Chain A
Amino acid sequence: MDYQTRAATNKVLVYVFLIIAGLFIVFPVFVVVSQSFMHSNEIIRWPPILVPNAPTIENYVHLFGRPDLMLPRWLFNSLFVSTTVTLLTLGLAAPAAYAFARLRFPGRQPLFFLFLATITIPVQVTQIPNYLLMHDLKFLDKYPALILPSVASVFGVFLLRQFFMSIPKELEEAAILDGATYWGLFLRIIVPLSTSSLTALGIFVFLANWNDLFWPLLVTNHLDMRTLPVGLTVLNSDYGALDRGLVLAGATFASIPVLIVYVIFQRNIIKGIAMTGMGGQ
């Protein structure tokens, strides 16, 4: 094969591969959304129908009508908790990372090694004692239990520290010369320069918290305090067999806001995620 045909074949192969991959991605979402607009007896049938003949929104009406399903509340809980966790994590990790990057204080080295050591330990070891603590503090089934144990992120400190160390010191030295305090230096110089890595860490933390099923399942009991993954699990286990359309409608409803945000911000999100991945280099 000469170069021309080989180049052309490669191009075709690449497109074919990507189109197949794309269909692989889209197909499940399409089926869920499409069938959520079908009456249950249209859904449970063989051979299955993928596009509704008589589209209906009855599943959604049922979804919001039932007292034992609180999808909007669960969506709100997840949004509120994940956002708060993200903001707090950044707020705690950034100053700490700056201290490790630039400020000298006795005990910095040993403390750093301590943090490093804890990163090797999986989170499950901490979850049971933290659950107990939440129980003793009477935080169970309330927002603090969902939020507080998740905000100390050693990974975040490491990531930001890497980034802060790469900022040229001359900027900071000049500011000190002008009489700036360390806090002012941090707020007015370092932070504005670090928006990309702060955003990256923020997105990473947000998504990790958004998708957590284990911890919210553990610390919440009441229906109105559950987060989205827990609520959807309940929806699926309670109604999966009875009313498939209802479950599919719930899944669709839960995905729409997130997908909209993703479509709008995907450039930033993707840049951020790639950066956290390369953070280990």
Chain B
Amino acid sequence: MSQTSVVVTPTPKQATPDPQTSVRAPSIRWSSMRRREAIAGYLFILPFLIFFGIFVARAIVTGVFMSFFDWPILPPVHTFRGLGNYNELFNDSLWWLSLKNTLIFAVTTVGGSTLLALGSAMAIHHLMRGKSFFRALLYAPAVLSVGVVGIAWGWLMDGEFGTINYVLHLLGIPKIAFLGDASIVLSSISLVTIWWTFGFPMLVFLAGIQNIPEQLYEAAYIDGANGRQAFRFITLPLLRPTILFVMVTSVISHFQVFGQSYILTGGGPGHASYTVIIYLYNFALRNYRLGYGSAIAVSLAVVLIAITFVQFRVLGRRERD
């Protein structure tokens, strides 16, 4: 029974009682090997752990803690308010409006973005030539700074001189105040966001579609299926987990919208495009009410976790059918 056999087998079933996913050398003194490995493990994670400990773990705990206090920066006196911050928050109709606006915005953006991304991914997949050109083109807006996006679309959507209104004018449609009309401002910001970000889900869908084996389609066509049926019965079901993943993560990220809405409308007109983060910025950070701000952040966390939960149950359940 040679000792060197340990090297070849991934999980040696021998005197060394250590059946986990680690890498170790053959050695009789496994305890010192284990110690070396453990020390290495700690050293490897130490730098990360330090930053994580300070800026994530400590911050989360402090954030929740602060939400129960009045916490101005100056003077550095913190009065305990119990649930006072939360009380104030939930009695503020602007908070609920912000939540509603943000939800509408997130759902609209994810819906439009997913459709456009799926369509584009399908279209690009079916191209014979020019695949990488269109792929690069449609993703391109994502690398632009949010400031540029805001400036560009703010100007394009200008109610008086905007180019989009010019196109409408040429079609005989009267001017629309895209960002000045309370009833459509959220849709306008949504459109801008879709333009900016749909490239990312498109790339993910494209990779997913390319992973579907050609034979499935070939078999279907031989059996007489047309393109639409192939999409409904092969592409869509196989892509479902990917679409689900994209939608869940997109809702969460679009719920935290700040840049585009801040630059395009600042929350207006009136409060029609007030989002949760704009509320946080204006009501807590501008006034240095950090305790109140923490309460807002914690409430946002609860909302997001709830949304994720709901999404998984509603959309995920169909998986089992």
Contact = CB atoms under 8 A, between A and B. Distances in A.
Interface of A: 6, 10-11, 14-15, 17-18, 21-22, 24-29, 31-32, 35, 43-48, 50, 78, 91-93, 95-96, 98-106, 108, 111, 114-115, 118, 120-133, 135, 148-149, 151-152, 154, 157, 165, 169, 172-174, 176-177, 181-183, 186, 207, 210-214, 217-218, 228-233, 235-236, 240, 244, 247-248, 250-251, 254-255, 258-259, 261-263, 266-267, 269-270, 273-274, 277-278, 280-281
Interface in B35-76: 36-45, 47-49, 51-52, 54-60, 62-64, 66, 73
Contacts of A149: 55, 59
B259 interface: yes
B190 interface: no
22 contacts: A17-B120, A18-B124, A32-B155, A91-B47, A95-B48, A103-B44, A120-B304, A125-B60, A130-B55, A152-B55, A154-B52, A183-B40, A213-B146, A213-B262, A214-B258, A214-B281, A233-B150, A247-B155, A248-B155, A254-B145, A259-B144, A263-B136
A16 to B, nearest CB: 9
Interface stretch (B89-97, B105-113, B158-166, B212-220): B158-166
A100 B140 CA distance: 35
B151 A22 contact: no
- Sorted nearest first, the 9 A-B pairs with minimum C-beta distance are A232-B147, A105-B41, A277-B204, A126-B59, A103-B41, A96-B48, A99-B44, A152-B51, A213-B259
Nearest to B308: A120
Contact of B160 (A46, A128, A130, A273): A46
Nearest to A10: B227
Contacts of B242: 278, 281
Contacts of B60: 118, 121, 125-126
A83 to B, nearest CB: 15
Interface string B122-152: 0110110000101111111111111110111
Contacts, number: 317
Interface string B284-321: 11000010011011101100110010000000000000
B319 to A, nearest CB: 14
> Majority SS of interface residues in chain B?
helix
Given A14-B126, A104-B22, A128-B297, A270 B139 contact: yes
Contacts of B195: 24-25, 28
B237 interface: no
A59 to B, nearest CB: 13
Interface of B: 7, 10, 18, 20-26, 34, 36-45, 47-49, 51-52, 54-60, 62-64, 66, 73, 116, 119-120, 123-124, 126-127, 132, 134-148, 150-156, 160-163, 166, 169, 195, 200-201, 203-204, 206-208, 226-227, 241-242, 245-246, 249, 252, 256, 258-259, 262-263, 277, 280-281, 284-285, 290, 293-294, 296-298, 300-301, 304-305, 308
A58 B47 CA distance: 50
A45 B154 CA distance: 16
A220 to B, nearest CB: 13
Contact of B263 (A29, A212, A233, A270): A233
Contacts of B137: 22, 25-26
B281 to A, nearest CB: 7
Contacts of B252: 122
A31 B146 contact: no
B143 A240 contact: no
Given A108-B41, A129-B66, 14 more contacts: A25-B138, A28-B152, A32-B151, A120-B304, A124-B296, A127-B59, A133-B55, A165-B21, A213-B146, A217-B281, A269-B143, A270-B132, A280-B245, A281-B242
